[in-house]
Amino acid sequence: MSVTAPKGFVASGVHCGIRKKARRDLAIVRSLERATGAGMFTINRVQAAPVVVCKEHLAAAQPQAVVVNSGNANAATGANGIAHARATAATAAQMLGVSADEILVLSTGVIGEPLPIGNVLNGVTAAALQLSRSGGGAAAEAIMTTDTYAKEAVAHGSGFTVGGMAKGSGMIHPRMATMLAVVTTDYPLEPGEAFDFLAPAVDASFNAISVDGECSTNDTVVLLANGASGIERTPESDLQFAACVRKVCGELAKQIVADGEGVTVVAEISVRGAATEPQARAIAERVATSPLVKTALHGHDANWGRIAAAAGSAKFDGGFADLDPDLLSIVIDRVPVFVDGAPTGDEPELANGSCAIDIDLALGDGAATYLTTDLSYDYVKINAEYRT
């Protein structure tokens, strides 16, 4: 009951026929109280129709509900795609008794195929009639594509709750990671405030993960806040709320990485001692997205040479991030393999499905972490057959 755990939220998930198999493929999440909210979106220049329409609606009004479909991305679909996204919002608005620009529309699935709008509008009608406090699980299931399980998270503060659901398995890479997420809360926020809480949480979670280095056309994270908890807001409660949003986003991000397409190993890349924090992040991202590092992880090979090479080629500010090979140290699963620019001769086993890679540049105070995965034979098979 993740997105409906906060007071004043209902949700549903239905099968409307977008997907070939009889599985849920359309969800609605709605606030029963007047809400405020914000969204963050992919920076890909090819932006899906729902992303375009969401931005328009957020500029005009406060969001009261979110409609999400899986099985079709409604991306690279031209003017018809925009019209279909708007029609989806209009139908939802009519069913829910709000204005069309108070509806956000999210889509995920195959790029370049026309959205079967008749099925979608019928699904919106059916989903609107099935909204309930117990519908969070069905909604989380309905937004899955190649996911193997629904992704949900909840965090409780002093008198308030933050809930969330997400989908994501492939095309996972900032900014942002193909992923969608809806976060709800009964914490009181004024219009225009939600973004300030959402942005740092996204930066530390969804913008710090990678499965395959591919940036999606549809990535969206939405936060809805309705104040239904009725608590008195204080500076201390704001700090607690920020921590809860970050916790929910972080848990959802971890679930996305763990459920990555074909994933057998999850690795955390930790960089410290960088000249600056942005440079640490650039190095962590470069190591996390290196195909050679990722294939070594799949083979349970602690190939620290590939890690060092990736770290030394991290692009930053028109050049490369600062790195002195004579100061560089690498530790894999607590085993030092490269210390102060020299190999130790030690070799970790990498026998399980997780791996910790710690990189120390000994240049400053910059630090960053990144979650990544191995790159497996199954990943290639899944994506080679994605449209069939």
Exactly one of 178, 217, 220, 289 is catalytic; name it. Answer: 178
Residues whose CB falls within 8 Å of the CB of residue 279, separated by 6 or more in sequence, listed in order = 314, 316, 321, 322, 366
> Of 92, 76, 84, 73, which Cα lies nearest the Cα of 118?
84
Who contacts 329 (Cβ-Cβ below 8 Å, separation ≥6)?
Answer: 336, 338, 339, 340, 359, 360, 362
Tell me how far apart the alpha carbons of residues 197 and 195 are, in angstroms, rounded to a whole number: 5
The alpha-helical segments, DSSP class H, found in 76-223 are 78-96, 117-129, 136-142, 194-204
Burial (Cβ within 10 Å: 0-12, 13-18, ≥19) of residue 308: buried
Separation of alpha carbons 370 and 269, rounded Å: 5
Dihedral angle of Cα 208, 355, 316, 52, to the nearest 10 degrees: -30
Q: Which residues does 198 contact at the CB level (< 8 Å), separation at least 6?
A: 38, 39, 40, 183, 221, 223, 245
Amino acid at 150: A
Provide the token pair at 30.
Answer: 């709605």
Please give the Cα distance from 337 to 165 (Å, whole number).
39
**Annotated catalytic residue 178:** yes
The Cα 346–Cα 72 span in angstroms is: 49
Q: How far is the C-alpha of 250 from the C-alpha of 254, rounded, in Å?
A: 6
Question: Are the C-beta atoms of 3 and 165 separated by less than 8 Å?
Answer: yes
Query: Residue with structure tokens 């795609």?
Result: 81
Q: Pick from 44, 45, 84, 42: which is nearest to 67 by CA?
A: 84
Local structure of 378: helix, strand or coil = helix
Tell me which residues are annotated as active site: 178
